[in-house]
Amino acid sequence: MRVLSGVQPSGALHIGNYLAAIKQWIPLQEKHECLFFIVDLHAVTVPYKPQDLRQNVWNAALDYLALGLDPAKSTIFIQSHVHQHAELAWLLETITPLGELERMTQFKEKSKHRQKANVGLGLFAYPALMAADILLYKTELMPVGEDQLQHVELARTLARKFNHLFGRTFPEPKSQVAKIGARIMSLADPTKKMSKSLGPAHFLAIFEPEEDIRQKIKSAVTDSGKEIVYDVKKKPAISNLLTIYSLCADKPISEIEKQYQGKGYAGFKSDLAEVVIETFRPFRRKREELLQNITEVRNILSRGAETARSIAEKTMKEVKEKMGLL
């Protein structure tokens, strides 16, 4: 089975990206043909600084490798190094209904606080580019967080539509979503999804200094009352922290609730900080090693792009023929 997924280099990768997405990618490498990429063409759909983007792409590459993506098993590359992504996106845009794009929650969220003049066409067309990423490799499975399901659904719709209009070409891709932690919430506002772009108080970056992790968890908002119980409606903040604890410590939530029965938030939070730090400690060491060997990282990305391009070229040849392009 062919597997594909990616993260936007829009900031430091956070524990939501890891727990919901990257953690699921690692075991898939053992059994499937996997492609993991850094989606820089998606990251330029909102205002950004070029020097930040460059840094974020390198950081994402280091994070991928430190967290266990293995270039001997998977193809690891940067989206913009394979020009066919943009080419297929254009062709798919010609069959993408405007109504589908208008319904996209991510588009609504990212455009709602901006004036129309400051919302680019690229942000609107974002899901068509994502469909192109997926279909370019005839992907069958995408391990993603819950917020991406609507986009995956569009990729399925476009695969069906293309096949209907031009003849069978693409399999209908499926998503794989983690049972727990598919939507990690912000530490500063548990009604919002943890995200890179909300600002540093909202997320816990995987590789931020340990002291910052302690501080951020200490300042994370909590709910009224004192009990440490899982109840998403009444206690959204504590439920989110319990989810993070459970995933990092690999313990069921019910067990953690028992462990902290009659105990206060302060102790729970300081234990949680240590659990999070412990979880990422081995990856931190690996990342430091990689930092010393940046040429090797560059080579991995360049080999990855070559492999990806060879698949992409074949698909584009077929797509162009079927669409009547000479």
Residues annotated as binding site for ATP?
8-10, 16-17, 145-147, 184, 193-197
CA 308-179-20 angle, to 5 degrees, is 45
Tokens of 309: 């391009």
193 has catalytic annotation: yes
Out of 111, 150, 176, 197, name the contact with ligand ATP by CB under 6 A: 197
Helix or strand holding residue 83 (H, E): none
Whole-number Å distance between alpha carbons of 265 and 218: 9
Q: What residues are designated binding site for L-tryptophan?
A: 133
- Shortest CA distance to 235 belongs to which of 212, 268, 270? 268
Binding of ligand LTN by 42 (CB under 6 A): yes
Candidate list 110, 216, 235, 269, residue with the active-site label = 110
Binding of ligand LTN by 6 (CB under 6 A): yes
Candidate list 161, 193, 216, 320, residue with the active-site label = 193
Report the interhelical angle of 84-93 vs 294-323 (nearest 10°). 40
Binding of ligand ATP by 183 (CB under 6 A): yes
Least CB distance to ligand ATP at residue 213 (A): 16
Number of residue whose CB is nearest ligand ATP? 145
Q: What is the DSSP letter of 14?
A: B
Residues numbered 9 to 48 that lie near ligand ATP (CB under 6 A) are: 10, 14, 16-17, 20-21
Least CB distance to ligand LTN at residue 83 (A): 15
* C-alpha pair distances (Å), 130 with each of 79, 122, 135, 148, 151: 11, 11, 9, 10, 7
Q: What is the DSSP letter of 184?
A: P
Closer of 148 and 240 to ligand LTN (Cβ): 148
Whole-number Å distance between alpha carbons of 145 and 127: 15
Contact predicate 305/78, CB 8 Å: yes
Tokens of 4: 């594909």
Out of 40, 63, 133, 223, name the contact with ligand LTN by CB under 6 A: 133
Closer of 126 and 245 to ligand LTN (Cβ): 126
> Residue numbers of the site for ligand LTN (CB under 6 A)?
4-8, 39, 42, 130, 133-134, 142, 144, 148, 151
Residues acting as catalytic residues: 110, 193, 196
